[in-house]
Amino acid sequence: MTRLLAFNAIVVALAVTTLGAIFGPIAVRKGRRDWLMYLYAAVYTNFALVTLSTLALIYGLVSHDFSISYVAQVGSRATPTFYTIISLWGALEGSIVFWAWVLAMYAAAVVWFNRKREGNLVPYAAVTLLVVALFFHILLVGPANPFLPVFPVPFDGPGPNPLLQNHILMGVHPPLLYLGYVGLTVPFAFAVGAMLSGEVADDGWIKVTRRWTITAWGFLTAAIIAGMWWSYEVLGWGGYWAWDPVENASFIPWLTCTAYLHSVMVQERRGMLKLWNLNLMVGTFVLTILGTFLTRSGIISSVHAFTQGTIGYYFLAFIGIVLVATLFLVAGNSDKLASDGRLDAPLSRETAFLLNNLFFTVFMFTVLIGTLFPLVAEAVRGVKVSVGEPFFNKMTLPMMVALIFLMGVGPALPWKKAAGPELKGKLLPGAILGVLFAAAALVAGARGAYSVLAFLFAGFALGVNVREFVVGANARVRAHGESWLVALSRLVSGNRRRYGGYTAHIGVVLVTLGVAASSTFKQEQEATLKPGESITVAGHTLRFKAAWGREEQQRQVIGATMEWMDGERVRATIEPRMNYYPTQDAPVPTPEVKSTLRGDIYLNLMAFKQDGSNVTVKVIWEPLVPWIWMGGLVLCLGALIGVLPGRKRTADAPVVVRAPALAEAQP
C-alpha cells in the first residue's frame, strides 16, 4: 500500500511537471497571463505530490515495511528511530527522493512569492524549475527507484551504513547540503528565465533571487562546515578536510557562488559584468549537478558513493543538455549584455571585486581539475592515480591567502576611485592587528610563509571589517544620541547586505585562524598504555584508566576511559570507543573530542588487547579547531543578516545610513 502510494505520487508528479513544462511556454507565447495560474498550479501540485511520496517513504521506514526495496536496503528493526528516519538520505534512491522534495519546495515557495510579478521572467523561471524537477522524477521512476517491490518480504534488513549512523551530525549535514545545493537551482532558473524572456538587460533576475541565492549560499556554507565537523568527529584521523573528491564536490559550486555574490554588486552598482554573472550562475548550477554525479554515480568510491549503475549516464546527459541549451541562450542574448559602466580607476572597489572573481574562478578550476584528473587519467591512460593533499595545498594556498588579503582591502575601498589619505585611515587598524597576529604566530613557532601570511591577512581583514561596524555605529551615536548597541543594530538593519557581508568576512577570519593554527601547530602521538600509565602531548597529560565494554540497542561498544590530567587533578574524562555493528565485520572507530577555546584534545582508540591489559591510543592536540565551527556559525549569521527583511526606511533614513560613508568619501 505505502509503496504503491509513494510510487504513484511520483508518476503523477512526472506527468504534472511534463505538462507544466510544455504548457508554460505556450501560455507565455500566446500572451495569456490568465493561463499562468495553471503553470503555477503544476508547481504547487508537484510539491504536494512529492511531499506525499516523501512522507510515505518515511512512514515505510519507520513502520519497517520491508516490502519496499529502499526500506529493505537501509532499514533494520534494531536501528534507533532517529537514524531510521534520517536513513531517508542514507542511500542513493532515498537521497534522490529527498532532493526532489527540496526542489519542489523551493519551486513552490519562489513561485508563490513572485507570482504577481510583471513580465515573463517568473513564468519562464517556473518552467525551468519544472524541467529540473522532471529530470529528478525520471531518475526516480528509472535508475533510482526506491519503491520497487520486494518478494518474499524479509523479516529484517541490514540497517544503514554504520558510518552514517554513528553520529548525530548525519541528521544535520545532508539536509543542509541539499538545501544549499538544490537552492542554487532557483537563481539558475531565474537566469535562464531572464534569457528566455529577453529580460537580461535589467537586473530583475538578480534582484528577485537575491535572498534565495544568499539563503542557498548560507545553507551550502553551513553544510560544508558541518561536513568538516562530521569528518573530524567521526572518521578518527583528526583532520577535517582532505581534499577528498566528495568534499571538493560541495566546495566547487561554493566557490563560484561566492564569486557571484560579490560580482552581482558590480552589476547592480555599475552596470558591468552582466554576461559574466549569467555565466557564473549557470556554471554554479552545472557544478552542483556535476558534484551530484561525482558523489552519487559510484564513479568515486567513498562513504557518499552509494552504488554503481546506469544513473551516471543520466547525469552526464542532463549536464550536456543544460550546457548546450544555456550556451545557445547566452549567445542569443549577447547583444543585450553590453556594460553600461566602465572601470574608472585601478584602485577601487570594482577592481577588488574583479580580482576576487579572478581568484575564485581560478581556485574553482584548480579544484575541479584536481578532482577530475584521476577519472581522466584512468579513462585515457588506464593508470590508477590519486591527486592528494600536496597538489591541492600547493596550488590553492596562494589563492586562499590572496583572497583573505582582498577581504581586508575590498571593504576599505570606495566605488569608482579611492583617495590616498582616507584609505590609510581605513586600513591602519587592520594593518596593526595583522602585524600583531603574524608576530604572535612567529613567536609560537610558525615558520611557513603561507602560515605567517594567513595570520597576517586574517588579522588585517578582521581589523578592517570590524572597523566598518565601529565607525558606522559611532557616527550614529554622534548624530542621533542613540546608545551604542541600538546604533549598531540600526546600522546593520539599514544596509543588511553590506553588514551581512562584513559579518561573513569575520566568520571567514575565524575559520582561517582555526585552519592556520591547527595545520601549523597540531601535535600527535600514539602510545600503547597499561592502566595507570599516561602520555603527554603538547603539555597535555592523558592517563589511561580502564578498558570497558557495553551493549547498546543496535551495536556493541568497546571503549577506553582516559583522564585528562591537570597535575594530580582529573580535568576531564574522555572515552574514545570502537563501535561494533552486527552486519559489519570491521568496527567503526569512534573518537572523542574535548574542546576548549584554545584547542581540542582528540583521542582515538586504535587497538586493544583482548584481555583489556593494554590499549593503543592516538592523542592529538588540535589548536583553535573550535574556532572553525564558530566561524561557520558567524558565516551563517552573516547570511541570515543578508536575508532578513530590512528596516523600513523612513523619509530621512537613507540620509542617515549613508552619512558615515559620505563623510568618508568627501573629506
Q: Residues in the site for other proteins, rule: CB under 8 A?
A: 158, 362, 365-366, 369-370, 373, 377, 383-388, 390-391, 394-395, 526-528, 546-549, 551, 556, 558, 578, 580-587, 589, 606-614, 616, 618
Bridge-partner residues for 536, per DSSP? 541
Bridge-partner residues for 543, per DSSP? 534, 563
| Grid cell locating 504 | 561573513
Least distance in angstroms from the C-beta of 541 to other proteins: 19
Cβ proximity to other proteins: between 105 and 252 the closer is: 252
Cβ proximity to other proteins: between 318 and 581 the closer is: 581
Measured N-to-C along each axis, helices 449-480 and 484-494 cross at an angle, to the nearest 10 degrees, of 110
Measured N-to-C along each axis, helices 449-480 and 496-521 cross at an angle, to the nearest 10 degrees, of 150
Least distance in angstroms from the C-beta of 593 to other proteins: 19
Cβ proximity to other proteins: between 208 and 255 the closer is: 255
Cβ atoms < 10 Å from Cβ of 346: 9
Least distance in angstroms from the C-beta of 365 to other proteins: 7
Of 596, 631, 641, the closest CA to residue 494 belongs to 641
Three-state DSSP at 544 gives strand
Cβ proximity to other proteins: between 541 and 556 the closer is: 556
Amino acid at 130: L
Three-state DSSP at 427 gives helix
Cβ proximity to other proteins: between 386 and 666 the closer is: 386
Q: To which residue does cell 568497546 refer?
A: 558
Of 1, 66, 54, the closest CA to residue 75 belongs to 66
Give phi and psi for 109, each to the nearest 5.
-65, -45
Cβ proximity to other proteins: between 2 and 263 the closer is: 263
Least distance in angstroms from the C-beta of 583 to other proteins: 6
Q: Where are the alpha helices (DSSP H) in 198-344?
A: 204-234, 245-270, 274-296, 311-333
Q: Cβ distance 460 to 439 under 8 Å?
A: no
Least distance in angstroms from the C-beta of 402 to other proteins: 14
Q: What's the CA gap between 249 and 237, in Å, rounded?
A: 21
- Distances in whole angstroms, Cα of residue 40 to Cα of each of 13, 117, 210, 313: 14, 13, 21, 31
The length of the chain is 667
Least distance in angstroms from the C-beta of 58 to other proteins: 25
Least distance in angstroms from the C-beta of 555 to other proteins: 8
Least distance in angstroms from the C-beta of 546 to other proteins: 7
Cβ proximity to other proteins: between 215 and 371 the closer is: 371
Cβ proximity to other proteins: between 390 and 645 the closer is: 390
